[in-house]
A = this chain, B = another copy of it.
């Protein structure tokens, strides 16, 4: 990609981030002493002007009902919507566009699988496996479906360093197991889980696997064929796209046997007074007027990522992460969660400081325009396993620059000087 403005061999990574940062208007609103150090990227990413423009352009040029009109504008909206689907589908390596369903969010995607697929394939005594590090979105829906069917929810526990303890999950591939749901990357630990290892053995045992890829798509390479997962869920807003749209990928046979969670217009074929039949995929799983601007924004986020290059994104974030990990691990009284090996983690770092409540650190950070997160990060079960009620979390994006690590370090120093004066 020699035409890629973001990649020049002579540029060092710092300069690349600075170039990328220019695309993000919100970050450029603040300067000098007010500079915003946005390190809450695992919660939601900022949006480049390119994505914002694509959304405006949709409303200014393309907006019309999708799939239903016989005039030129409606053709354009339909074509653009389906092109967006294709773009997102290709980005994760889906063999067919129809395997990519636009949803409200990763949360909705997962609920659709729980209610529309797994519920109809579970019996009392069956087992559903999750891990001890799941986001509530990839846990609570399975709790409910297990309760409704009498199935048992089982946990892959964690090792000391926050990796999945697969060796001790002895029953994982047993005859009783009907489903495995796991995250690709933990939104707290940053650890990249060995998904492939699980899907391979699960496939031998005929067990479907859902991957919560909310923290991986757009950050590290994700290819559903390579991962060989049955379902994959993610959200646009964590990968520079708009709020309010997510996606569900599924293998063709799985989607075909899925009952739609939402019923209504667009997803039906024939509607009798008392009974109806469903349309073919992907329509069957997209009830209601499609989210045209959301889909266009989603696709333009993919375009944006591809224009920078996923590799560039990865190397910027991994350099930042390595530097931050190194600096943080030298702080007195700090505890960093998850493996320290930067090969096995993304740009998410959770930690705690002795004697200081995470809330107080985040507050002090906020007062210095350092946007970090404290809390359970929608991972209460993980917090229990870590023996904490909350952690502080800093997470990086390719628009972050090295001085923002320093800002974070200063915040920690301030917090320690307030709470742990010598």
In this complex, how many residues of chain A approach chain B with their Cβ under 8 Å: the count is: 93
- Which residue, A71, A72, A365, has most C-beta atoms of chain B within 10 A? A71
User: Are A29 and B69 also in contact (CB < 8 A) when A55-B56, A276-B143 are?
Assistant: no
Interface residue A19 (Cβ < 8 Å from any Cβ of B): no
A251 contacts the other chain (Cβ, under 8 Å)?
no
Please measure, in the bound complex, the distance between the C-alpha atom of A153 and the C-alpha atom of B293, giving whole angstroms.
Answer: 36
Asked if B26 and A378 sit within 8 Å, CB to CB, the answer is no
Is the Cβ of A243 less than 8 Å from the Cβ of B380?
A: no
Q: Judging by beta carbons under 8 Å apart, are B375 and A68 in contact?
A: yes
Q: Are B36 and A65 in contact (CB under 8 A)?
A: no
Chain B residues near A339 (CB-CB < 8 A): none
Q: Which residues in window 371-403 of A have CB below 8 A to B? A: 371-375, 378, 380-381, 384
Q: How many Å lie between the Cα of A372 and that of B261 in the bound state?
A: 31
Cα separation A378 to B289 with both chains bound (whole Å): 11
Q: Cβ of A110 and Cβ of B366 under 8 Å apart?
A: no
- State the CA gap A60–B28 with chains docked (Å): 9
Q: Which of A111, A155, A288 lies at the interface centre, i.e. has the most chain B CB atoms within 10 A of its CB?
A: A288
Find chain B residues with CB under 8 A from A372 CB: 71
Select A70's contact among B38, B262, B366, B380, beta carbons within 8 Å.
B366
The stretch that binds B, out of A42-50, A162-170, A304-312, A313-321, is A42-50
**Is A64's CB under 8 angstroms from B243's CB?**
no
| Known contacts A140-B268, A274-B143, A276-B140; A43/B69 CB under 8 A | yes
Among B104, B105, B144, B243, which residue has its beta carbon within 8 angstroms of that of A293? B243
- Closest residue on chain B to residue A106 by CB atoms: B288
Asked whether A271 lies within 8 Å of B136 as measured between CB atoms, the reply is: yes
Q: Which residues of B contact A384 (CB under 8 A)?
A: 273
Are B294 and A243 closer than 8 Å at their CB atoms?
yes
Is A135 an interface residue when CB atoms closer than 8 A count as contact?
yes
Q: Do residues B287 and A107 form an inter-chain contact, with CB atoms below 8 A? A: yes
Q: In the complex, A303 Cα to B359 Cα: how many Å?
A: 36
CB of B52 within 8 A of CB of A56, answer yes
Assess A111 versus B262: contact at CB under 8 Å? Given A47-B63, A243-B290. Answer: yes
Of the residues B108, B139, B270, contact of A288 by C-beta under 8 Å: B108
Question: In the complex, what residues of B have CB within 8 A of residue A26's CB?
Answer: 59-63
Task: Tell me which of A36, A135, A273, A362 has the highest count of chain B C-beta atoms within 10 A of its own C-beta.
Answer: A273
**Closest chain B residue to A374 by CB distance?**
B70
Which of these, B73, B141, B266, B273, contacts A36 with CB under 8 Å?
B73
Cα–Cα, bound, A123→B347 (Å): 51
Asked if A292 lies at the interface with its beta carbon under 8 angstroms from chain B, I say yes
Binary contact track A22-49/B, C-beta < 8 Å → 1, others 0: 0001100100000010101001101100
Is A265 close to B, CB under 8 A? yes
Across the interface, which residues of B come within 8 angstroms of A366, CB to CB? Answer: 69-72, 74
> Is the beta-carbon distance between B369 and A71 smaller than 8 angstroms?
yes
Inter-subunit contact B271/A140 (CB<8 Å):
yes
A363 within 8 A of B: yes
Would you call A99 an interface residue if the criterion is a C-beta within 8 Å of the partner chain's C-beta atoms? no
A288 to chain B, nearest CB (A): 3
Does any Cβ of B come within 8 Å of A291's Cβ?
Answer: yes
Residues from chain B with a CB closer than 8 A to the CB of A64 are 40, 43-44, 371
Say yes or no: is A87 at the interface (Cβ < 8 Å to chain B).
no
Shortest distance between the CB of A47 and any CB in chain B (Å): 4
18 contacts between A and B (CB under 8 A): A43-B69, A44-B289, A56-B56, A68-B375, A70-B359, A71-B362, A71-B372, A104-B262, A107-B263, A107-B289, A108-B288, A111-B262, A138-B264, A141-B264, A143-B275, A235-B288, A243-B290, A273-B381
Top 5 A-B residue pairs of the complex, sorted by shortest distance between their CB atoms: A244-B291, A107-B288, A137-B264, A71-B366, A265-B378
Apart from A135-B265, A243-B293, list 14 A-B contacts with CB within 8 A. A25-B59, A52-B59, A68-B375, A69-B371, A73-B371, A104-B262, A111-B262, A140-B264, A143-B263, A153-B274, A237-B289, A243-B292, A244-B293, A265-B378
